[in-house]
Amino acid sequence: MTQESNSTTLMLVVVVTLFLMVEVPLGVNMSVMIVENTANKALVAEHTRALPQYGPQHTPRAHSSNTPGLSSTSSSTSSSCLATR
């Protein structure tokens, strides 16, 4: 085999590997959703379905009148930044 053929083979292996790394978890997720919806039985716990939200914008607050996730100072700061652009 020539060097060009080896490079082509390696490139194909890398592309197929990346494709499978992305698509296999999506396929498993889709299969689980199909089984759950068909059998009307939860296979995955409800609290594990959503990704956790991290950062200061997602900290729990006690009955805030502002938009969830935004404080009054951060919204005024962001609007003043937009006005200066």
Does 57 fall in a domain?
no
Does 83 fall in a domain?
no
3-state secondary structure of 3: helix
Residue range 29-69, pLDDT digits in tens: 999 999 999 999 888 888 887 777 776 665 555 655 555 55
Q: What percent of the chain has pLDDT over 90?
A: 38
Is-contact 36 42, C-beta < 8 A?
yes
> What pTM does this model have?
0.49
Question: In total, how many domains does the chain have?
Answer: 1
Is-contact 15 23, C-beta < 8 A?
no
Does 13 fall in a domain?
no
Domain span at 38: 19-45
Does 2 fall in a domain?
no
**What is the spatial distance between Cα 57 and Cα 60, in angstroms, rounded to a whole number?**
9
